[in-house]
Amino acid sequence: MERKTLSEMIERVAKELARIDEQDGAAPWGHPSCDINSYRQRARAAIAAMREPTEAMLSTVIPRPDYWPPAGQNAVKDAIITKDRRDRGAHWTAMIEAAIAHTGARSPLAKREPGSNLWLVEIGKSSPPVLAVIDAPGDMSFEEAEYFVEVKLCPHDILNMGVAEILQDGDTDPHGVISLIQQVPRPDDWPFTGTVNWGRFRDLFDQLDRDPHCLEAPRKHGS
């Protein structure tokens, strides 16, 4: 009966421990004299020892962008990347605990729900620039949003408009090509529908006035 509910990860580790011992003459897995329960207990202990990820593990998965100032020189950026690593560590811990208990528990990191802001983002550095207006997930400061856009997310995750791939100079996942320009409160009549003049967006995003390529051409939005 236990085999039906046992964590697959515990079973994998237990079998690997038994395989190693078998090389030294122990009974193979499944043999009547093989103490399977003992191997499972050892497997649980081995997995439990990995409950907390090391700082080296987290910094490898979430490296500090090389164009950021060194750690200790910018408190805001230090706090943002520390929080991101802490969240990823919680994700790791949840998976380890699920493997031990076989609860099927998922990561405590909930999917971000739509917040109260819009993002104006620049895609690449073309002239004139390519801009996109995006419903910002969650509610965060500009600094947090900047990290989320320019470091954390893959470009296709940000756009989420059915784009299969975004390519740049041989890179099929070019982080950093999208820059956060401005974050503003979402207006009551968003999303805009029908024909919306460029000036409507200039009223919404004052950063557009600082761009010499902004034109008064009307744009079609919605259906």
Residues 132 and 65: their CA atoms lie apart, in Å, by: 24
- pLDDT for residue 111: 46
Q: What is the pLDDT of residue 23?
A: 93
- Tell me which of 41, 68, 101 is where a domain ends: 101
Is the pLDDT at 218 greater than 50? The verdict is no
Residue 67 lies in a domain: yes
The per-residue pLDDT for 5 is: 42
Give the end of a domain, one of 69, 101, 133. 101
| CA gap 8, 159 in Å, rounded | 36
Q: Are residues 126 and 151 in the same domain?
A: yes
Residues 96 and 170 in one domain: no
Which of 43-47, 82-86, 195-199 bottoms out in mean pLDDT, i.e. has the lowest?
A: 195-199
Q: How many other C-beta atoms can be found within 10 angstroms of the C-beta atom of residue 50?
A: 15
Per-residue pLDDT band for 112 (boundaries 50, 70, 90) equals: low
Alpha helices (H) along the chain: 2-5, 8-23, 36-48, 55-61, 75-101, 142-147, 155-159, 198-204
Beta bridge partners of 196: 219
Backbone angles phi and psi of 99, in degrees to 5: -65, -35
Of 164, 151, 180, the residue nearest 80 (C-alpha): 151
Secondary structure tally for the chain: helices H, strands E: 8, 5
Question: Is residue 43 located within the same domain as residue 76?
Answer: yes
- Which H/E stretch holds residue 162? none
Q: What is the pLDDT of residues 120-179, one digit of tens each?
A: 888 777 766 777 777 777 778 888 888 888 887 777 677 664 444 666 777 767 777 778
124 and 177 co-located in one domain: yes
- pLDDT > 80? residue 14: yes
What is the reported pTM? 0.53
Same domain for 91 and 134:
no
Average pLDDT over residues 10-19: 92
3-state helix, strand, coil in the chain (%, to 5): 45, 15, 40
Pair (199, 133) in one structural domain: yes
Starting at the earlier edge strand, list the strands of the sheet with 114-123.
130-137, 114-123, 178-185
- Other CB atoms within a 10 A radius of the CB of residue 130 amount to 11
Write out the residue range of the structural domain in which residue 30 sits: 2-101
Domain boundary among 53, 72, 101: 101
